Amino acid sequence: EVQLVESGGGLIQPGGSLRLSCAASGFTVSSNYMSWVRQAPGKGLEWVSVIYSGGSTYYADSVKGRFTISRDNSKNTLYLQMNSLRAEDTAVYYCARSWVERYDFDYWGQGTLVTVSS
């Protein structure tokens, strides 16, 4: 059974850093496209970043240069390193898997809340 479990969210001051984790089971992270998608409180869904099976990474313009996506194949875990956090980064962050098409998300984690506030 495919499962994705995010962790690492919390309250952080503007300008701070946070690392989110997404532990996967039931499939191999490195063999799939893995993305982060976020949802600000009361708002819609926004794609944030992707890592391809080959290791290429891509980012939404809103986080480029501040966020870094990575994975640890030995732990079958996806990460999102978030630096220079802003109030507008406040959101629930979901990890999501795509198997065939790069951004056709078939499984999602339960999400972890990041709150950027002083």
Partner 1 sequence: DIQMTQSPSSLSASVGDRVTITCRASQGIRNDLGWYQQKPGKAPKRLIYAASSLQSGVPSRFSGSGSGTEFTLTISSLQPEDFATYYCLQHNSYPPGFGQGTKVEIK
Residues at the contact surface with partner 1, assessed by CB under 8 A: 44-47, 58, 60, 94, 98, 101-106, 108-111
**Least distance in angstroms from the C-beta of 112 to partner 1:** 11
Residue 33 C-beta: closest distance to partner 1, Å: 10
* Cβ(15)–Cβ(118) below 8 Å: no
User: Minimum CB separation from partner 1 for residue 116, in Å?
Assistant: 20
Nearer to partner 1, 27 or 58 (CB): 58
Residue 61: how many other CB atoms lie within 10 Å: 6
Nearer to partner 1, 52 or 68 (CB): 52
Residue 30, φ and ψ in degrees, nearest 5: -70, -10
Q: Which is nearer to partner 1, 16 or 40 (CB)?
A: 40
- Is 16 in a helix, a strand, or coil? coil
Residue 41 CB, nearest approach to partner 1 (Å) = 12
Looking at the Cβ atoms of 45 and 70, the one nearer to partner 1 is: 45
| Tokens linked to 60 | 């939404």
Q: How far is CA 65 from CA 23, 44, 74, 84, 115, in A?
A: 24, 23, 26, 9, 20
